[in-house]
Amino acid sequence: MSVAVEAPPAANGASSSSPQYPDQYYYVDQILDRPGPRTDEAFSAGDPVKSFLREQCKILVIGAGGLGCEILANLALMGFKDIHVIDMDTIDISNLNRQFLFRPKDVGQPKATVAAEFIMKRVPGVKVTPYYGKIQDKDDDYYMQFNIVICGLDSVEARRWINATLVNLVDPENPESLKPLIDGGTEGFKGQSRVIFPTISSCYECSLDMLNKPTAFPICTIANTPRLPEHCIEWASVLEWPKVHADKKMDTDDPEHISWLYKVASKRAKEFKIEGVTWQLTQGVVKNIIPAIASTNAIIAASCCNEAFKIATTAAPFLNNYWMLIGTDGVYSYTFEHEKKSDCPVCGGETMDVEVGKGWTIERLIEWLTENQKIQIKKPSLSLGTKPIYFQAPPQLEESTRPNLEKKVHELIPEGGEVTVTASTLPFTLTLRLAFV
Amino acid sequence: MIKIWSMKKTEEAAAKKKPKTSAAQIRVQKDLTELELPSTMKTTFADPSDILNFTLTITPDEGMYKGGCFDFSFAINTNYPHEPPKVKCIPKVYHPNLDLEGNVCLNILREDWKPVLNLTSVMVGLQYLFLEPNPDDPLNKEAAEDLRRDRDAFTQNVTRTMKGGSLRGTTFDNVFKR
C-alpha cells in the first residue's frame, strides 16, 4: 500500500533521562488516531485505544529464543508496555547469531531475564517481567491475568500444554477468561502463524494431525545397515546408550553425554566407512535441532505481533486463522481457515450438566447414561482426572474398578466434578458436570 | 481490545467447559476401554490407577512361538498420540525382530507411527511378529540369518531357546514358566 505518511518531527534534544523518546509512537499513532476503512465498529480512535494498549493491556510471551527475541522487540516498539516473558532455557553461544537481545557475556544466563533487561534498557517506559522456568510451573490464576498470549516455542508438547490450559481456562460466566492465543512457529525457511480463540476457533490440538512426523529411521536399519551419519548417531543414542548406561538417563543438554555419543557414533561410522559424523551433527540429531533462519523468525514474529496489535486495538481485522509461509523455493504464502474438529480431545466433545440424586450409585449413573435418549451411548467408561471410576475394558481394569459400581456417586466425585466419559459410540468424549440434588 | 465474547453464543459457551484431564490421558482411556483383544493377548496394570504404564502378555496359539508367554512393557508419555508408546520386550527372546536388550523392530513403533493409529494397532502388530518373523528387517542378525537359511533349524532354535536354552553362548529366558 502506498500511503504517504508525513515525516515525524525531528527528535530535538531528548534528554536520556526522559522515560520515553519524544514521538516514540508517532507512526503507531497514525493508525490509532483515526479509524481506517476496515477498522472494527468497536474501535475508539485516539486516547481510549491508546490508553488500553499502553496502560492496561497485559501480554504474555512464551519463549525468549529465536522467535521470542523478535516478538519482544516488536511488541515493545509497538507500544505494549506491560509484557511478561517465560523461558526455561539459558543462553548458549550458538544462539547469538540470531537471538539479538543476547551478547557473548550473557552466555549461561537465563534467556527470559536477559531479554527482559535488554528490552527495558533499550525501550524506556516498557516493563518486561521475566520468569525463568517452565510454563507448567504456573497455575490458572497466573494465566488469567493476561489479555493476550503469544507463543514462540519449539516444542509440540509445550504448545499442546498451553493450548489445553487456555481452552480449560474459558469460563462461560466470565468473558475475561477467554485469552486469544497467537502461535508462531518456524522450521528452516518455513513458518506459520495462527490465531486461536480458545473454544471458539480451531485449537492447536485440532490441527495436530497436520504436523510432520519427526524423522525416525527404522530400528533395523540403524542396527544393521547404516548408510548415513545420522544412522550411526541414532545407533549410539537409541541402542548403545541404554546397553552401556543401563538406567542412567541420557541428558541431551549435557556436553559429556553428547561427547560420548559422538565417540561411539564415530567409531561405528568408521567401521561402515560412513563420513560426516561430527559433534554438531550428533547434538543436532539427538536434540532434533532444525537449522533456524533469522529472517524466517523475523517474518513470523512480525506476523504474530501484527495480530496481537490488531486484536488489542481492533484497528484492523485479525487473521482468520492460519497463515503459512514457505520460503524454500522462492516465497509462497497461503492463508486459510483451519476448522474446528468436533472430535478434538481438547476443545471438542460436549459437556452436559447432570443432576444426580443423593442416593445414586455409579451403576445408577451409568444406567442413566445408557438410557438417556439424548446421548444414546453404549458401554460407557468413566474417569475423574487421571483416576478411573469405571472402565469397561481391559478385563483387569474392569475388575479393579467394578467395586466402584456399588459406591455412591458423591463418595467418589465432588460437587461440580467433571467426569470424562468415553464410549465407542461417542465421536470422542463426553464430559459430565455433576450437581447433587 | 476486541470483544470476542459477542462472537460466542451463550448456550454454546455453557456446553464447552472442559475438564483438566490431559488429551493424552483421554486418548489412552478411549484406546484401552475399546480394546477388543483376542484370547492370546492380555494387559496387566501394576497400578490400576496409572493407565499410562502397563504390561501386555502375548501367548501365540499358532506358529513357531506357540505356547510361549511374551511380556511387553508399554510406557505412554503425555505427548501421545503425537508420539508412539514406548514398547520393550521384557524376556530375552530369540527372534529376528527383537534384540537381546528388548528393542522391537516394528515400523509403526517408530518411522511409520501416526496419531490415527492406536494401542490396538500396536498390539496386533506385535502379535504378528510372532506369527510371521520377518528376516528382512533384522534386529537379531543371527536369528534372521538362521531363518533365511534353514527354516526348520530356526524352528528348532526357537523351541530350544523358549525353554530357557542357550544358543551360541547366549542364554535365553524360559517363556513357558507361569
Q: Which residues of B touch A428 (CB under 8 A)?
A: 26, 30
Q: Does B34 touch chain A (CB under 8 A)?
A: yes
Task: State the pLDDT at residue A3.
Answer: 52
B169 touches chain A (CB under 8 A): no
Q: Which residues of A participate in catalysis according to the annotation? A: 220
Residues 364-423 of chain A with CB under 8 A from chain B are 379, 381, 383, 385-388, 391-397, 400-401, 418-420, 422-423
Domains of chain A, earliest start first: 26-211+293-336 (3.40.50.720), 219-286 (1.10.10.520), 350-436 (3.10.290.20)
Nearest-CA distance from B56 to chain A in Å? 11
Which of A164, A199, A219 is opposite residue B103, by nearest beta carbon? A219
Across residues B54-58, what is the average pLDDT? 96
All residues of chain B having their beta carbon less than 8 Å from the beta carbon of residue A164 are 22-23
Q: Which residues of A touch B17 (CB under 8 A)?
A: 168, 170-172, 351, 418, 431, 433
- Output the pLDDT for position A7: 54
- The DSSP element (H or E) to which B146 belongs, if any, is helix B141-149
| A220, A207 contact by CB (below 8 A) | no
- For chains A and B, CB pairs below 8 A equal 189
What order of strands is seen across the sheet that includes strand A387-390? A350-356, A429-436, A418-422, A381-384, A387-390
A433 interfacial to chain B (CB closer than 8 Å):
yes
CA distance A75 to A308: 8
Answer whether residue B21 shows pLDDT above 80.
no
The per-residue pLDDT for A13 is 41
Q: Give residue B146's domain range.
A: 21-171
Residues of B carrying an active site annotation: 105
Q: Which amino acid is at A363?
A: E
CA distance A10 to chain B (A): 32
Position of cell 561430527? Answer: A278
The reply to whether B12 falls in a domain is no
pLDDT at B17: 44
In a domain, B5, yes or no: no
Residues of chain B in contact with residue A40, where contact means CB-CB under 8 angstroms, are 2
Place of cell 499513532: A29
SS3 state at B71: strand
Predicted pLDDT at A15: 37
Strand partners, B1: none
- Residue B2: inside a domain: no
* Block mean pLDDT (10 aa), chain A, length 437: 51 44 89 91 91 95 97 97 96 93 97 97 95 94 96 90 92 89 95 95 90 80 90 92 87 91 95 94 87 94 97 94 94 95 82 86 91 82 90 91 93 88 81 86
d(CA A311, CA B122): 44
CB atoms within 10 A of CB A364: 15
Query: For residue range B73-101, what is the model confidence (pLDDT) as tens digits?
Result: 999 998 898 899 999 999 999 999 999 99
Q: Which residue has the cell 490464576?
A: A141
Q: How far is A167 from chain B (nearest CA, A)?
A: 7
Kindly list the strands in the beta sheet with A332-336, ordered across the sheet, starting from the edge strand earlier in the chain: A127-132, A82-87, A58-62, A148-152, A181-187, A190-196, A322-326, A332-336
Distance of CA A55 to the CA centre of its chain: 26
pLDDT at B18 over 70: no
How many C-beta atoms lie closer than 10 Å to residue A48's C-beta? Answer: 11
Is residue B25 scored above 50 in pLDDT?
Answer: yes
> Regarding beta strands A190-196 and A181-187, do their DSSP bridges make them parallel or antiparallel, or are they unpaired?
antiparallel
The CATH number for B140's domain is 3.10.110.10
The DSSP element (H or E) to which B54 belongs, if any, is strand B53-58
Residue of chain B with shortest Cα separation from A176: B5
- Give the residue-averaged pLDDT of B15-26: 64
Instruction: Give the span between the Cα atoms of A317 and A282, in whole angstroms.
Output: 45
- Using CA coordinates, name the residue in chain A closest to B135: A220
Cβ separation of A216 and B111 shorter than 8 Å? Answer: yes
**For chain B, what is the domain count?**
1
**Does the distance separating the beta carbons of A350 and B15 come in below 8 Å?**
yes
Residue B3 lies in a domain: no
Mean pLDDT of B109-123: 91
For residue B107, being part of any structural domain is answered with yes
- Which chain B residues touch A350 with a CB distance below 8 Å? 15-16
Residue with cell 512393557: B73
Compute the distance between CA of residue A56 and CA of residue A79 in angstroms, rounded to an integer.
11
Query: Predicted confidence band at B42 (pLDDT cuts at 50, 70, 90)?
Result: very high
CA-based nearest residue in chain B for residue A396: B44
pLDDT at position B19: 44
Task: Give A418 or B3, the one with higher predicted confidence.
Answer: A418
Residues A256-313: pLDDT tens digits? 999 999 999 999 999 999 999 999 999 989 988 878 899 999 999 999 999 999 999 9
SS (H, E, C) chain A: CCCCCCCCCCCCCCCCCCCCCCCCCHHHHHHHCCCCCCCCCCCCCCHHHHHHHHHHCEEEEECCCHHHHHHHHHHHHHCCCEEEEEECCECCHHHCCCCCCCCHHHCCCEHHHHHHHHHHHHCCCCEEEEEECCHHHCCHHHHHCCCEEEEECCCHHHHHHHHHHHHHHCECCEHHHCCCEEEEEEEECEEEEEEECCCCCCCCHHHHHHCCCCCCCCHHHHHHCCCCHHHHHHHHHHHHHHHHHCCCCCCCCCHHHHHHHHHHHHHHHHHCCCCCCCHHHHHHHHCCCCCECHHHHHHHHHHHHHHHHHHHHCCCCCCCCEEEEECCCCCEEEEECCCCCCCCCCCCCEEEEEEECCCCEHHHHHHHHHHCCCCCCCCCEEEECCEEEECCCCHHHHHHHHHHHHCEHHHHCCCCCEEEEECCCCCCEEEEEEEEC
Return the residue in B2, B26, B88 with the most chain A beta carbons within 10 A, the one to mutate for interface testing.
B2
CA angle B113, B114, B116 (to 5 degrees): 135
What mean pLDDT is reported for chain A?
A: 89
pLDDT at B7: 61
- Predicted local distance difference test score (pLDDT) of residue B178: 61
- Chain B, nearest residue to A54 by Cα: B1
Whether residue B10 has pLDDT greater than 60: no
In a domain, B110, yes or no: yes
- What's the confidence (pLDDT) of residue A269? 95
